[in-house]
Amino acid sequence: MIYYTLWRIQESAFKKKIEMKAGLKQTIKDQFWNKLISKPHLAVILAYITVAICAPLLAGRDPLIIKTSGEWKFPGFSTDKYFRYSEDSLILKKSADWKNMQAEFILFPLVPYDPNESDMINYNYLSPFDTNKMIAGDGSTVIAPLRFKHWLGTDKAGRDVLSGLIHGTRTTLLVGFLSMIIALVIGLITGTIAGYFGDKTLKTGMWKIAVLLLSALAAWYYIMIVPEHQPKHVLQDINFIWKFLLIIFIIAFISAIIHHATKFKTGIRQTYIPADIIISRSTELFQSVPRMILILAIAAIMKPGLSSIIIIIGITSWVKISRLFRAEILSLKNKAYIDVCKSMGMSDYRIILRHILPNSYKPAFTAFIFGIAATVMIETGLSFLGIGTDPERASWGILLFNGKENFGAWWLVIFPGLAISALILALNGVIKNKNGRGSRDSIINNF
């Protein structure tokens, strides 16, 4: 009988667990999928992401599949410089005349042009309605078949606009996602520390701070200064950012060692770390300079390129996320369930990771999406001004800039602009509008 009762209890507990799990799934479905996400906007964003991922398949100079002398080859997918046409002839891919190549089977990408490739005949602002020409195999100029048409025209140098748009999607989304991830990580850490610990919670021994400061100075000296003065140093050619991350890693390592070594010691004189003051004042410092000026100044320091743009946008947009998290956590901190957690003796890290952050996913998610929308605008604006861009890389802003030089070429202005606006519109609308805390309207005003 007793066994039977125990078994029943166990069974009911098990059932409850299953129910709870199903409940969680249901909650996610209800709260997140049905109430928060707007499906049409999500579809647009997914379409952009698909284009970005498949960009090399959609637009490129080299054919995807070609069959010559009985063999199937995939020049579009390989990174070789040469293409083996037959057993005894190698062709440089760059100078290959794919359009007139004798092949048993050939499949081009949807747009058979590279974004930076100049079309030697269809240059000087070919409009989408003009007839496209091409050089036939015997050297005569003929009207190009539809497969080789520039569907959205070309710019002054004869670069295909559609191909640039497709590859530009990749650049823009890459910059948007990666820079917002950087911003989210920095903002989340600083905002959580400032909001949860405040000024009078974090306690530590004075000497620990002194040791950490000294080790930070020493790490700075040996990693930043010594390589400059010593020829052939291991760290000579490494980027500043990586050196900086290395220093942070070393300091974290030392502090972890100190923490574990002195875990059981008591009676050390302790002092408060005013985390909130430090972080709030530094966010204020960051916000006191207009963002565009800050971006321009940092862009002047770094070498132009994609990674620089990502880092610049990332490190200038953490401030708002940090403030948002601070406010969010300040409001969650005094809830009753957190007091319960504390009374059960949970550590701060457990409370933050398991109970506070999961409950603030909504503003985090919303801020992330709006941050991407803002980043898209900044990235295209920067490449429009010609700041920090890699000329080799296609970008919507560069296309627009080319359009500004000749207003007769309306296709260079309309299409990239539409692409940018539609993406931003989709990103701004993907989170359904609701009133209340963490809703779209209360956060969109921050961006």
Scanning 302-393, the segments in alpha helix (DSSP H) are 306-316, 318-333, 336-343, 348-350, 361-385
Scanning 28-136, the segments in alpha helix (DSSP H) are 39-53, 55-58
- Beta bridge partners, 71, equal 68
Choose which of 116, 215, 262, 428 interacts with other proteins (CB under 8 A). Answer: 428
Looking at the Cβ atoms of 101 and 424, the one nearer to other proteins is: 424
Q: Please report which helix (H) or strand (E) contains residue 19, including its range.
A: helix 2-27
Choose which of 100, 230, 239, 270 interacts with other proteins (CB under 8 A). Answer: 230
Q: Smallest distance, Å, CB 65 to other proteins?
A: 38
Please tell me what DSSP assigns to residue 358. G
Q: Please report which helix (H) or strand (E) contains residue 72, including its range.
A: strand 71-73
Please tell me what DSSP assigns to residue 28. I
Q: Left if phi > 0, otherwise alpha if psi is -120 to 50, otherwise beta: which for 92?
A: beta
CB of 294 within 8 A of CB of 316? yes
Looking at the Cβ atoms of 4 and 407, the one nearer to other proteins is: 407
Q: Does 238 bind other proteins (CB under 8 A)?
A: no
Query: For other proteins, which stretch binds (CB under 8 A), given 6-14, 202-210, 358-366, 397-405?
Result: 397-405
Q: Does 292 bind other proteins (CB under 8 A)?
A: yes
Contacts of 328 (CB under 8 A, 6+ apart): 191, 195, 360, 363, 438
CB of 63 within 8 A of CB of 98? yes
Q: Does 293 bind other proteins (CB under 8 A)?
A: yes
192's tokens: 């959580």
Q: Smallest distance, Å, CB 266 to other proteins?
A: 27
CB of 219 within 8 A of CB of 225? no
Query: For other proteins, which stretch binds (CB under 8 A), given 184-192, 319-327, 361-369, 404-412?
Result: 404-412
Choose which of 142, 285, 340, 353 interacts with other proteins (CB under 8 A). Answer: 285
Q: Smallest distance, Å, CB 301 to other proteins?
A: 5
Choose which of 24, 225, 241, 268 interacts with other proteins (CB under 8 A). Answer: 225
Looking at the Cβ atoms of 254 and 423, the one nearer to other proteins is: 423
Choose which of 384, 393, 431, 443 interacts with other proteins (CB under 8 A). Answer: 384
Between CA 102 and CA 415, with CA 158 as vertex, the angle to 5 degrees is: 110
Strand 71-73 to 82-86 pairing: unpaired
Choose which of 234, 261, 301, 344 interacts with other proteins (CB under 8 A). Answer: 301
Query: For other proteins, which stretch binds (CB under 8 A), given 104-112, 246-254, 257-265, 286-294?
Result: 286-294
Binding residues for other proteins (CB under 8 A)? 221-222, 225-226, 229-230, 277, 281, 284-285, 287-290, 292-293, 296-298, 300-301, 373, 377, 380-381, 384-385, 400, 403-404, 407-408, 410, 413, 416-417, 420-421, 424-425, 428-429, 435, 441-442, 444-445
